[in-house]
Structure 1
Amino acid sequence: MSVTNTFISHLLELRDRLLRTLLVFVAVFICLFPFANDIYTLLAQPMLAKLPAGGQMIATAVTTPFFVPMKVAMMAAFLLTLPHSLYQIWSFVSPGLYAHERKLMAPLVFASTLLFLLGMAFAYFLVLPVVFGFITGIAPQGVAVMTDIGNYLDFILGLFMAFGLAFEVPVAVVMIVLFGWVEIASLKEARGYVVVGAFVLGAIFTPPDVLSQIMLAIPLWLLYELGIIIAGVLKRQRDASPRLPDEQG
């Protein structure tokens, strides 16, 4: 098969897998849209629980009551279809990987999905109550805290993304070590820079209270250390095992 035909076949396969991913996402989105308001109510609980008695959220734009549930349904559909989407990506790239890389990537894909969801759960159950407790606690006397539902959704989605990505640190560390991009000794030497960077990221992606910044920075640092430990164990196991034919040379 010529290079041109091979390239075209890869493009066709990529198109098919993107189409499958999109169709599954749309199908799940359509199923979830009728329940979008219930999902939003669940997402709003950390804020509603901190509002004074009789407090509520508001919609300041005409189209907000429609577009906010749509965004909620899209977010839920993205999370539910994430395993399928990652499977399509995995199926597309796996033929071009060596056998030892295919053996490594499947657990990493599973771990990255699980860690992202754990990061979101950490933000929802631990961080958001602290953040909203701080925000409502500093409101001046006589000021009613009534958050716009669209602004609230954008805020929590940003926190979900920040903590979800932060929890991916062990996967990133394991990958760069096992693929030979960085040595474990170099990662240990960079520990001080990582700690400083974690607190900088905490200051950027969280509200201005110190506690919520620490709640992002400390897990980020600990996950970095966990990634170094796991990468060291896996690297020793790989070095001690017989090399596969595609690893030699």
Structure 2
Amino acid sequence: MAGLLSNLRNTLIVSFLLALVLIAGYGMHNGAADAIFWQGVFRWLHVVFGILWIGLLYYFNFVQIRKMPEIPAELKPAVSKYIAPEALFWFRWAALFTWVMGIILAINRGYLLETVTLGATEGFTVPQHTFIGVGMWLGTVMFFNVWAFIWPAQKIALGIVDGDADAKAAAGRKAMLFSRVNTLLSVPRLVTMTMNQTIFG
């Protein structure tokens, strides 16, 4: 067991195999791989990728950004050259897959247009489409921030892309500010994701 758990790849393979067994069980209970079944699969994937994305967002904001000024200068390269690039890899791809799974879920549920327009196509008479649409737009802004602002700025700040000391400092501040925007938006976004399913089903 220690051999399995000491290797992250193997741990994840077994974890996903167990998840697939449970998914197959739900499929057998449902009786068919219909739209409802796939809705469950897409929602699960949306949540898995979302936890990875928001978990790393919170790691950056609650831990790394706050503690970096306290780290001795000679130790900072350990974070900036090894930990941060790896965390940013998972962070940006988790953001992409969370967003994609959310769009697929909205298509599967048949309300993509209604939510994108915040319920305007229905005269704002279906509140669940307005509420989940707000959450989708918050998630879209956050996803856009990751790929258009945070990652390009972090590449400069971490030295992946060339830049002088001033450019690195400016890029680091820009990445931090957009990361804080995403932290600010994450909590209300999670309200829409959880309350919508609970209140409206």
Range class of TM-score, shorter chain: 0.3 to 0.5
TM-score of the pair, normalised by structure 1: 0.31
**Higher helix content, 1 or 2:** 2
- Larger Rg belongs to: 1
TM-score of the pair, normalised by structure 2: 0.37
Question: Which structure is higher in RCO with an 8 Å CA cutoff and minimum separation 6?
Answer: 1
